[in-house]
């Protein structure tokens, strides 16, 4: 009986957690503010308590989850209409480095030491601080870097050329199944697809693991492979 109760509670907590998460919106962990992160942990802890609770407090846990989620939604709506409140909840960006100057007090305010800052610079490919014009700590904990103009990669505009605008590739075959909606979006049909496969010596659609294309007929096909690559070959 206890096992069935735990199973029922666990399924219910997963469903409730899923619905509340969808309601609050989908964001990556790296996009969370500290407030979002703490509330996410709290709601997850309540869901775990709900799953194993045998004392009949299931509704209490569910109510607590809904209250937390509702509170987050209200604050989110308020912060969208109030800049001061948004900065209070999510925090403000902090300039850590600019024009050759390291702001030690701002690093201290950000709870970051110089070694952490230099490590983040190296991760982003900056081993020489003179290549950086500005470094800003964003509210989500990531550091944004503005490189010195002379050290940034050249763009087609810098070179005075106008390349054709690239477009997103659409998946036209996934795991041996034709994606008819994507084909229609590209303005193509199944006959066109089969001709493309034939030109690359692919006889059966079932043998295709993935095929992609854009509106300019840049077509790529990846056949289904039965062999497993040896991990030792990767070093």
CATH number of the structural domain spanning residue 179: 3.30.240.20
Does one domain contain both 81 and 110? no
pLDDT exceeds 90 at position 117: yes
Give the helix ranges, DSSP H, for the chain.
2-24, 34-52, 58-81, 83-90, 104-109, 114-123, 156-159, 180-186, 190-199
Does the residue 234 lie in any domain?
no
Task: Say whether pLDDT at 233 is over 50.
Answer: no
Q: Is 159 within the bounds of a domain?
A: no
Q: What is the 3-state secondary structure (H, E, C) of 35-56?
A: HHHHHHHHHHHHHHHHHHCCCC
Q: Are 74 and 136 in a shared domain?
A: no
Strand 94-98 vs strand 132-137: parallel, antiparallel, or unpaired?
antiparallel
- Give the per-residue pLDDT at 32: 59
User: Looking at the 3D structure of the chain, how many domains does it have?
Assistant: 3
Instruction: Please tell me the predicted confidence (pLDDT) of residue 53.
Output: 67
Based on the domain organization, do 75 and 99 belong to the same domain?
no
pLDDT tens digits, 155-164:
888 888 888 7
176 part of a folded domain: yes
Residue range 113-126: mean pLDDT, rounded: 93
pLDDT by residue (tens digit) across 31-82? 556 666 667 777 778 777 777 766 656 777 778 778 877 877 787 788 778 7
Residue 231 has a pLDDT of 52
Output the average pLDDT for the chain. Answer: 82
Q: Is residue 156 part of a domain?
A: no
Domain residue limits at 42: 2-87
Range of lowest pLDDT (4-13, 58-67, 81-90, 120-129): 4-13
Is the domain of 98 the same as that of 81? no
Q: Write down the residue that tokens 């619905």 correspond to.
A: 19
Q: What is the mean pLDDT of residues 183-199?
A: 93
> Is 191 inside a domain boundary?
yes
Q: How does DSSP classify residue 3?
A: H
User: What pLDDT sits at residue 71?
Assistant: 78
Q: What's the pTM value of the predicted model, to 2 decimals?
A: 0.60
Distance (Å, whole) CA 49 – CA 33: 25
Q: What pLDDT is attached to residue 192?
A: 94
Q: Which residue has the tokens 């795991």?
A: 175
Tokens (6 digits) for 136: 């800003």
Please tell me the predicted confidence (pLDDT) of residue 212. Answer: 95
pLDDT of residue 116: 93
Strands 170-174 and 208-213: antiparallel
Give me the pLDDT at residue 234, please: 44
Could you tell me if 143 and 187 lie in one domain?
Answer: no
Sequence-distant (6+) residues with CB within 8 A of 10 are: 51, 52
58-81 and 34-52 helices cross at what angle (nearest 10)?
170
Co-location of 78 and 6 in the same domain: yes
Q: What is the pLDDT of residue 49?
A: 75
Strand extents, DSSP E, 103-228: 132-137, 143-147, 170-174, 177-178, 208-213, 220-223
Region 91-120: mean pLDDT is 92
Instruction: Look at residue 183 in the predicted model and tell me its pLDDT.
Output: 93
Same domain, 15 and 35: yes
Q: pLDDT value at position 31?
A: 52
Decide: 24 and 73 in contact? Cβ < 8 Å: yes
Residues 132 and 189 in one domain: no
């Amino acid at each position: 009986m206890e096992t069935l109760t735990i199973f029922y509670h666990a399924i219910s907590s997963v469903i409730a957690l899923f619905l509340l998460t969808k309601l609050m919106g989908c964001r990556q962990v790296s996009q969370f503010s500290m407030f979002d992160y703490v509330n996410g942990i709290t709601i997850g802890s309540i869901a775990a308590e709900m799953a194993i609770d045998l004392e009949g407090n299931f509704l209490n846990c569910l109510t607590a989850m809904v209250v937390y989620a509702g509170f987050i939604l209200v604050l989110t709506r308020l912060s969208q209409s109030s800049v001061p409140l948004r900065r209070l909840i999510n925090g403000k960006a902090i300039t850590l480095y600019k024009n050759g100057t390291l702001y030690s007090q701002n690093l201290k305010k950000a709870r970051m030491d110089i070694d952490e800052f230099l490590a983040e610079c190296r991760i982003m490919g900056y081993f020489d601080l003179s290549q950086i014009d500005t470094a800003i700590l964003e509210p989500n904990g990531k550091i944004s870097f503005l490189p010195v103009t002379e050290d940034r990669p050249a763009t087609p505009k810098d070179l005075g050329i106008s390349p054709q605008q690239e477009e997103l590739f659409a998946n036209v075959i996934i795991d041996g199944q034709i994606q008819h909606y994507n084909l229609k979006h590209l303005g193509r049909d199944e006959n066109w697809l089969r001709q493309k496969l034939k030109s690359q010596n692919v006889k059966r659609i079932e043998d295709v693991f993935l095929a992609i294309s854009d509106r300019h007929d840049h077509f790529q096909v990846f056949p289904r492979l039965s062999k497993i690559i040896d991990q030792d070959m990767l070093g």
